[in-house]
Amino acid sequence: MTTSSTDAVVSIGWLVDRLDEVQKDDPSIRLLEVDIDPSNYEHEHIPGASKVDWRTDLQDPTTFDVPSEAAFEEFLGGFGIRPDSTVVIYGDMMNWFAAHAYWLFTYYGHADVRLLDGGRDFWGERDAPLTTKVPEFTSQSYVVDENQLDIRADRPDVMDAIERETALVDVRTPEEYRGEILAPPGWNEGVQRGGHIPGARNIPWNQVVESTGCFKPEDELRSMYEEHGIDADADVITYCRIGERSALTWFVLHEVLGYEDVRNYYGSWVEWGNTVGAPIEKGQRAAIKRE
């Protein structure tokens, strides 16, 4: 397991020590599970965890944009979360959608949100406690105080980035990046064109984690990005297919490594690949040569 210097990442041991606390009807700490397959929660989950369905809770089902501020407030309040609550998030697939939820919480300015290192699978492999009991918590009043809209990039920002020194990081698989496939098997949202945004570097999302799903050591992560010409002073935009895998890379760059100018392109390839006139490249980009 990685030892992180940031409070944004918590270990299994950290959460085990607080399991009694997270199961109480006390809004000081809340635990959320966000899975690719939301039905995993019904099979078993960490005691005290509430289920988040990314399809209905983390996006507007009509616009496919982030939920409105009012919807976000209702969502959090319904889970018994207050603005001063510590919120710990975890999920399957090495925290794909858990990181997406973390990004959304940060976008709407929630002050204390954490990601469980290794996620659901690592927790289960360590024989940590699991249950099928669904917790019930008293609803709270939640009001967004100050959001952080500057962690999001939209299509005009990306168009501008192509002409500037902004580092575009495509975190999809090499096959998606080269335009050989439109999406991973079973995940096609109707994209019309394959390829990548001109100038984007392909650094797949899974390169930031060990086989356990825990984050790699910070010095290793920093070296990996520097080999691609991305250092702490870089202006970075991450993207994937629908913004969930790129949220994990955003988390590593912004929260773990502390890079300040990192944005997640929320529309990602589903928007870009379907936009008439949006420039696209195919094939493999030449490697960055370091001096």
Q: Which part of the chain has CATH 3.40.250.10?
A: 9-147, 150-272
9-147 classified as CATH 3.40.250.10? yes
Once rounded to an integer, what is the mean pLDDT over residues 134-160?
A: 97
Q: Please write the tens of the pLDDT for every residue from 203-260.
A: 999 999 999 999 999 999 999 999 999 999 999 999 999 999 999 999 999 999 999 9
Q: Please, which pLDDT band fits residue 3 given cuts at 50, 70 and 90?
A: very low
The yes-or-no answer on residue 214 being catalytic is: no
Q: Which of 103, 102, 79, 80 has its CA nearest to residue 27?
A: 80
Which residue in the block uniquely carries the two structure tokens 């005009």? 156
Q: Please, which pLDDT band fits residue 291 given cuts at 50, 70 and 90?
A: very low
* Catalytically annotated residue among 158, 240, 247, 248: 240
d(CA 222, CA 226): 6
Q: Positive or negative, the Cα torsion across 158, 163, 166, 170?
A: positive
Determine the pLDDT at residue 26: 96
DSSP structure class, residue 273 = T
Look at residue 18 and tell me whether its pLDDT is greater than 80.
Answer: yes
Q: Please write the tens of the pLDDT for every residue from 248-263.
A: 999 999 999 999 999 9
CATH superfamily of the 150-272 domain: Rhodanese-like domain (3.40.250.10)
Beta strands in 53-184 (DSSP E): 86-90, 113-116, 152-153, 167-170
